[in-house]
Amino acid sequence: MFKIGFIKLGNVASSLVADLALDEIAERTDIETKTLGFGAKMTTKEAERSAELKAWDPQMVVIVGPNAATPGPTAARELYKDVPTVVISDGPAKKDAREALEAGGFGYIILPFDPLIGAKREFLDPAEMALFNADGLKVLSVCGAVRLVQEELDCAMTSITAGDLDLPHILASPEICTERMDFQNPYARAKAMAALHLAQATAGINAQACFRLKELERIALAAATGHEVMRAAAKLADEAREMEKASDTVSRKPHARSGALLKKTGLLEKPSSQA
């Protein structure tokens, strides 16, 4: 039984499903998961508390949350340097930061289109927070980012079991993610790519609201703009999915009980081995 632990520091849309994507109907017999979550907080205090996962003796650890270069996630990684560890985050996207992660022995999956929320009380309340994450999760799911995470973590676990450690080092792009979803209609794939580009643009808009603007009106308008862009991205993603459904060509890749990845396209087909 392979033991994989998840540490959630802060929240991005992928935080909501990174662990669930490995056992979507709770029938895998080859893995156990344990998740430590700290809500919206991601300081060094939470990082220190994440050490309690070590007592469970995981064979791999996944640290997921925003801005992996900040002190909290950095401190958490240091605690697990002796365990194969994969970072899932919206950053760092800069080459030198990614090279530093790799040099430290860490794997990473960077999702630039899992964007910063408009986290200013001049705009954000719990309902707005939930809506933003719902839109973000729709984009990541339809457009291939969730599948990318699922497949890469599965591959990393397989490599550890085989004694040949191979962690992912991926700066995701719209092309990479949509390729994983096996779109049959090129217009559907184009819509999905457009959704990811819009989601990525959202991060820059919300960064203005969160860190640069000072006046209430400008903060509120900028944050609202970022959230409207994400909403537009979710609509495009929904359109892409509906196009594939209309032609009965939605790609599905469920897990077998053994953990093997199965596949099917037609709704009424039985899932079969990918081999």
Tens digit of each residue's pLDDT (9 = 90 or more) over 162-178: 999 999 999 999 999 99
Q: Is residue 172 part of a domain?
A: yes
Q: Is the pLDDT of residue 70 over 70?
A: yes
Torsional sign, CA 71, 77, 81, 86: negative
Q: Is the pLDDT of residue 273 over 90?
A: no
pLDDT of residue 114: 96
Check if the beta carbon of residue 4 is closer than 8 Å to that of residue 32: yes
Burial 207-244 (b: 16+ CB within 10 A, else e): bbbbeebeeeeebbebbbbbbebbbbbbbbbbbbbebb
Percentage of the residues of the chain whose pLDDT score is greater than 70: 99
Query: Are 42 and 155 members of one domain?
Result: yes
Check if the beta carbon of residue 12 is closer than 8 Å to that of residue 66: yes
Mean local confidence (pLDDT), 186-198: 98
| Residue 254: φ, ψ to 5° | -80, 160
pLDDT classification of 275: cutoffs 50, 70, 90: low
Query: Are 198 and 241 members of one domain?
Result: yes
Check if the beta carbon of residue 253 is closer than 8 Å to that of residue 263: yes
pLDDT classification of 222: cutoffs 50, 70, 90: very high
131: region left, alpha or beta (phi > 0 left; psi from -120 to 50 alpha):
alpha
Mean local confidence (pLDDT), 90-102: 84
Q: Is residue 129 part of a domain?
A: yes
State which residues form the domain around 190: 123-140+182-250
Query: Are 75 and 35 members of one domain?
Result: yes
pLDDT of residue 93: 63
Query: Are 14 and 4 members of one domain?
Result: yes
Q: What is the pTM of this model?
A: 0.95
User: Average pLDDT over the chain, rounded to whole?
Assistant: 96
In total, how many domains does the chain have?
2
Q: Is the pLDDT of residue 46 over 80?
A: yes
85-89 and 31-37 beta bridge pairing? unpaired
Q: Is the pLDDT of residue 77 over 90?
A: yes
56: region left, alpha or beta (phi > 0 left; psi from -120 to 50 alpha):
alpha
